[in-house]
Amino acid sequence: MKLATLRMDDGLHAARVEEIGYVDLGPGDVGSLLTQPDWRSRAANFEGAPISLEPARLAPVIPRPSKIVCVGLNYRTHIAEMGRDLPEHPTLFAKYPEALIGPFDTLELPPESNAVDWEAELVVVVGQRVRRADRDAAQAAIAGYTVMNDVSMRDWQFRTKEWLQGKTWEASTPLGPYLVTPDELMADAVISCEVDGDVRQKSTIADLLFGAADLVSYVSTVITLNPGDLIATGTTGGVGHAGKPPCYLQHGQTLATAVEGIGTMVNPVRRGEPT
């Protein structure tokens, strides 16, 4: 099953995604839907005629998560290109909900940064409250998966040893287009990122060092995870910062981010103005 959050005239609505459109599940986004214990059956069994909408009407599939926990250095190819050793434990940092934009929204390059980089990521969406979960409980707590581009301001990220200031710029992080339930995602699904049609990143999620259930277990040891919380699992090799010379996003380009079985986000890139 695939779910989306739609921008309707009266606000955000959750929807089930069908081949011919969207079945509107009513007011409330996918994040609020996940707070209902019977969300799976409600979404799967809801009857309604599919409607067509322009891509711009898709909001971030989880617009206001209470937590966005991100994992750095979690694909073996990316660890190698950055010249790092394989970590013993997950490297964690955070984003805030204000960073999120829709899967087809314009990505504005902040005027304060000249080193805006791409990072295609698979995202775990938590579906039930969980704390100190073992691996089985962690797996059961996963509602599904979505796609993120962890757009990073490298010149700000590496000002210090802490990454937060380069990672959570407002309106910088596309999320979507859909949430897919775990049965929809292959263990070796292809993950990719293109800039103006040129493939910059391409791998499979099988290259992950710490998998989805391991991350839910690890993070839930530190803090309670709630329905709608997100864990971005890290990016694969091919980031612009690792190029020789480095290469970054430019005004007028188009950024496309995809995970096989979930969908593709397409974000026009524009240079923003100081406000």
10-residue stretch averages of pLDDT, the chain, 275 residues long: 97 97 97 97 96 97 98 82 81 97 98 97 98 97 98 96 94 98 97 98 93 97 98 95 94 98 98 70
CA pair distance 274, 225, nearest whole angstrom: 36
In a domain, 19, yes or no: no
Phi-psi region of 21 (alpha: psi -120 to 50; beta: other; left: phi over 0): left
Backbone angles phi, psi at 119, to 5 degrees: -155, 95
In a domain, 139, yes or no: yes
pLDDT for 160 equals 93
Task: State how many domains the chain has.
Answer: 1
pTM summary value = 0.95
pLDDT for 275 equals 56
How many other CB atoms sit within 10 Å of the CB of residue 123?
Answer: 26
CA pair distance 137, 207, nearest whole angstrom: 23
In a domain, 140, yes or no: yes
pLDDT for 180 equals 98
Residue 259: CATH number of its domain: 3.90.850.10
Reference 105, options 192, 50, 170; nearest CA is 170
Say if residues 233 and 93 touch (Cβ distance below 8 Å): no
In a domain, 233, yes or no: yes
Say if residues 221 and 83 touch (Cβ distance below 8 Å): no
In a domain, 13, yes or no: no
Positive or negative, the CA dihedral 144, 151, 98, 131 is positive
pLDDT for 215 equals 98
How many other CB atoms sit within 10 Å of the CB of residue 10?
Answer: 6
Reference 21, options 7, 33, 4; nearest CA is 4
pLDDT for 6 equals 98
For the chain, give percent helix, strand, coil, nearest 5: 20, 40, 40
In a domain, 17, yes or no: no
pLDDT for 81 equals 76
> Domain range spanning residue 93?
56-271
Side-chain-side CA neighbours of 100 within 13 Å: the count stands at 24
